[in-house]
Each structure stands twice: as structure tokens, then as C-alpha cells.
Structure 1
Amino acid sequence: MDLGLGLPISNPGRLLDGARRAEAARFDTLALLDRLAFDNPEPLVALAVLAGATSRIRLQTEVLLGPLRATAQLAKQVATLDRMSGGRFLLGIGVGGREDDHAAAGLPIGRRGRLLDEQLAALRAIWRGEPYATALIGPRPTAPDGPPILIGGFAPVALRRVATHGDGFICAAPLDWAGLLLRTVHEQWDAAGRTGRSCLVCQVNVAVGPPETVERARRAVADYYAFTGRTGWGAPLSDPAQLADTVAAYRDFGADELWLYCYADDPAQVEELAAILR
């Protein structure tokens, strides 16, 4: 099982340091989340900068809110990042569920699923070199169909989208929910006549290090998930033994990759996590 690192979003100026540390510590992927009506760096722009500061580690959005972006522009941005990173970029994408993001983009939230389905089909066609609204849009990506697409979500329609348009499933649910979601993905995958199996990427929030680092992470997670109204939702794992056991459980579950999402902006967490888990 590969291990990815979700970089903290509260201090964009520290992302370069975090990315270099993650590559040196032999993490496999760097991920950045996406919001519009929130104080976070725009992920495609930020990952382009991080691509230039690294040479091996993969780069991924987790998850990009596709419907908030114009399809042709998104195709160009992704293909550019894919080419300039040497094929290291993976597109994690989903619809999002926050009213404020969609209001800021001027997009009715009720249309987001239909728009994403149309967008995913169009992205593949653009990357294959087919015209979009009569225009050819470059550059062409590294692979003929573009970079791998991993789709996140919980609703049945989102899980069907993995089989229809994706290469894999981003499961951000706790492990005790994940089995049911994954069974549905496998059923939809088989029903669509797909061969092989979908890639499975899972995620846990983490915070290690001094008490002040852990407390900053807890506050940041609570702020990020405040919209749910659920106290303690997404609280980060901070006990090293519990964290090691959790990683082992996801490995036994069959995850291809597990992302450890950091919310505190302490770059020293990278080495501490590596020491616990490697």
C-alpha cells in the first residue's frame, strides 16, 4: 500500500517546504483539497508550483470541485500540469456539497452531478484530441486519455460515476463505512463491463508532534467540518500506536493508497509521520 500526504492548507507559504520534505521522506503522493469559499490555496496552481520543486512524488487533487470550473479551461490546466510534471499528476474530482462554494461560483448546487458527468466525458474527449465546441484544445496530455481520474463521493450516483468515468475511487469515509461503499463500486464496475478493478484510495486525518501542533490541527479540522454540525467529525488521529494500527487496518482492507491528511502547518510532521509508519 502506498502512503500519500495531504498537505495543510492554512499557510500556503509552507507548502514548498512540506512538499520537499515529503519527497525526501519517500511518501508516494502529495494531495491538496479544493474549496472556493474558504481560505485555502487554489490546488491546481499550488500543485504546479510543487511540481517544479519536486521530481518523483505524485501530485493529486483531493478532490477538485469540477463543476465549479469551465470544462475547456480545466482540460487545458490539467493537461499542462500533467505534461510539465512528467506525468506525475492524478485528477481527484467530485461534485462537492457546500452551498457557499456553489453560490460563490454562481452555480445552482442541484445541477452539479449532471454537470460533472458531462464534464468528465468532455475532458476525456478533449485529451484525445477531439474538438470541443468546434475548437481543438491543447496541450495533449502524457497518456492518450489523460491522467488517471479518481472520483470521490458517497451517494450511489457518485459511486456509479467511478465505473462510468473513473479509474479509481477516493473513499474518505471511516473504515467501518468503507466496505459497503466499496462493494457498491465493485458492483457498478462489473455492471459497466469494466475489466480489472478500480483503484482504491482512502484517507484519514492525522496530527502528530508537540501538543500545540495537535491542538492547531484539531481546531483547523473543526473549522473545516463545521458545516456538518457534527462535533468531532474528522478529528485527527494523534496517538502513534493508534495511527500505526489504523494504517495496518487499511492495508488489510485492500487500499492501494492511504492519504494522511495534515491540518496543522508544522512541516516537522512529515518526518514524524514517516518515522511512525515506515
Structure 2
Amino acid sequence: MNIGIGLPIGDPAALLTWARRADAGPFSTLGLLDRLVYDNPEPLVALAVLAGATSRIRVQTEVLLAPLRDSALLAKQAATLDRMTGGRLVLGLGIGGRDDDHQATGVDKRTRGRRLDEQMAVMRRLWSGEDHGDGVGPIGPAPARPGGPEVLFGGFQPVALERVARWGDGFLAAAAPSWAGGLFDTVRGFWKEYGREGEPRIVAQVNVALGPQEVIDDARANMHAYYTFTGMADRMVAGMLTTPAEIRTAIADFADLGADEVMLYCYGLEPTQVDRLADIL
């Protein structure tokens, strides 16, 4: 079981400290959320900086809102980051749910799922070295990983889970163990239905905070602000794990469900949480 760290978004300048501590510890991956109309760092830019400050740990978007971006440019950015990190990029993608993010980019929210499918067709083609099409040639550089970086999809609806089998390499699950198992089974079912070889990579995400009460209170306040738009922020914050025993139990539960990796997502800014999390693994 691999364990990654989901980075806080409140202070971009602090992320170098988080990344270096995680790279020196037992962690497999650094993850970063994506929003547009919010006070958070742009994930591809931020992860590029963090990749340059680390040597082995993977960098992962959780999830990048692909429909808000131009497909050819996104393909080039992802291929560049993958190539320059020696294949350390994991591209977690989703469609997003906020009206303001879509309004800011002029993207029709009603067509975001169809747009993501169209984007994947373009990006897979470009990452394989083929022409863009309509008289436009290939767009490099070639990614380090043949066919493009590893792609994970987040989501909960059947169409999103099916997208894993159609276009992706795995599933990013922001769900508690109590109901994540059904999502995993559905993803695996689509995987077999599409005749994919092997198994989809399954990455789970849990929200955590370890430290004195002020660290936990800060994490809860930041998480609540981030998810206020859902109308379920109170319930989501209540699910944050704040003790070593809770975190160990969640990791064990996901292991029993067959997850390949668990991302411990932090909203509190105190970087010593990295060391505390490393101590309990």
C-alpha cells in the first residue's frame, strides 16, 4: 500500500517545505486540488515547482478540471511535466462542479462531460505522437511514459466511472471506505467490460489533520471554506480524521478493499503534519 500526501492550498509558498519533507519520508505522491475562482495555486505550475525541488516523489493533480482548459495546450503541459520529471506526473482529471469556474472560462457546464471525453481523444492522440488533425501536425514533447502520463479520473456517477475504462489508467476516489467499495467494484466491472488488461489503479483519498488543537481547527476552517459551495461542508468536515488510530484504520480498510494507494489530504498549513503522519505509518 502506497501512501501519499494531499497538500494544503492556503499558502503556495509553504508547499516547498511540505514537498521536501514528504520526499524525505515514506510517502509516494504529492497531490494538489484544482479550482479557478478560489485562492489556491494553479496545480500544474505549482507541481512543476515542487517536482524540481524533489527527487523521487510523484506529483499528482486531484483533480485537474480539464474542461476549463484548452486540450492541445493541456496535452503539451502534461507531456512537458512528465518528460522533465522522468515520468513522475500522475494526471488526475475531473469535470468540476462550480458554476463560477465555468463562467470565468466561458465553458458551458452542461457539456463538461462530453468535452472531457473529446479532450481525452485529442490528448491520447498527441501523446502517442500523432498529428493534431485538420492539417495540423504533432505537438511535442513526447512524454516520458509511452502514450502519456498515468491518467486517473475522479467522480461518482456511472458515466464518470465508465470513463476510467474508456480513457484512463485508474480511479481517484474521494469517498469513505464505507461506500468506496461499491465505486471500486463498478470501476472494475467497466474495466472488464471494455476488455482492458490487468486492473485499474485505485487511489483513495481521506481528509486528515494531526497535531495540537489549533492545527486541527485551522484544517477544519480551511476545509469548510473550500466546500461551502456544496451545501454539505459541515458533514464533510465532520469526516476529517484527527487521530493516529482513525488514520491507521482508514488505511487498513482501503487496503482490504484493494486500493493501491491512499492520499492523506491535509487542509491545515502546519508542515510538521508531514512528520506526524510519517511517524504513524
* TM-score range normalised by the length of the shorter chain: over 0.9
User: AA paired with 2:24?
Assistant: A
Query: Match of 2:94?
Result: 94
Q: Distance in 1 between matches of 2:185 and 2:89?
A: 27
Provide, for residues 7-37 of structure 1, a one-character-per-residue CA deviation record: whole Å limited to 9, x for no partner.
Answer: 1000001000000000111210000010001
The separation in 2 between residues aligned to 1:199 and 1:214, in whole angstroms, is 31
Q: Distance in 2 between matches of 1:23 and 1:144?
A: 25
Match of 1:216 in 2: 218
CA contact under 8 A between 1:222 and 1:232: conserved in structure 2?
no
Question: In 2, distance between residues paired with 1:156 and 1:99?
Answer: 22
The AA in structure 1 aligned to 2:5 is: L
Q: Deviations over 1:48-78 (max 9, x none)?
A: 0001100000111000000100001001100
Q: Contact between 2:31 and 2:62, CA under 8 Å: does it hold in 1?
A: yes
- Once residues 234 and 167 of structure 1 are traced to their aligned partners in structure 2, the CA distance between those partners, rounded to angstroms, is 30
The aligned counterpart of 2:247 is 243
Count residues in correspondence: 277
CA offset digits 1:126-163 (Å, max 9, x no partner): 01111114132111111220111111110110001000
Of residues 198, 201, 205, the one that matches 1:199 is 201
Q: Is residue 9–residue 263 contact of structure 1 (8 Å, CA) maintained in 2?
A: yes
Q: Map 1:1-278; keep pairs closer than 5 Å.
A: 1-133=1-133, 134-230=136-232, 231-235=234-238, 236-277=240-281
Letter in 2 for 1:246: A
Deviation at 1:200, TM superposition (A): 0.3
1:179 Cα deviation (Å)? Answer: 1.5
Q: Alpha-carbon deviation of 1:234?
A: 4.1
Query: 1:8–1:261: 8 Å Cα contact kept in structure 2?
Result: yes
Distance 1:234 1:219 in 2: 8
Q: Deviations 1:226-258 (Å, cap 9, x if unpaired)? A: 112122314421022111111111112211000
SS in structure 2 opposite 1:56? coil
Q: Structure 1: which 5+ residue stretches go unaligned?
A: none
Q: Find the residue that maps to 1:169 and give its secondary structure.
A: strand
Measured after TM superposition, the shift of residue 99 of structure 1 is 1.1
Shift of 1:100: 1.3
CA distance in 1 between partners of 2:62 and 2:152 (Å):
9
**d(CA) in 1 for partners of 2:230, 2:91:** 25
Equivalent position amino acid for 2:211 in 1: G
Greater shift in the superposed pair: 137-146 or 258-267: 137-146
State the identity as a percent: 57
TM-score (norm 1): 0.98
Write the distance in 2 (CA, Å) between the matches of 1:126 and 1:190: 26
Please list every run of 5 or more consecutive structure 2 residues that lacks an aligned counterpart in the other structure: none
Q: Tell me the amino acid that sits aligned with residue 176 of structure 1.
A: S
Superposition CA RMSD, Å: 0.9
TM-score, structure 2 normalization = 0.97
Matched residue type, 2:60: Q
Letter in 1 for 2:228: A
Change (3 A) 1:78 1:171: same
Matching residue's letter, 1:238: T
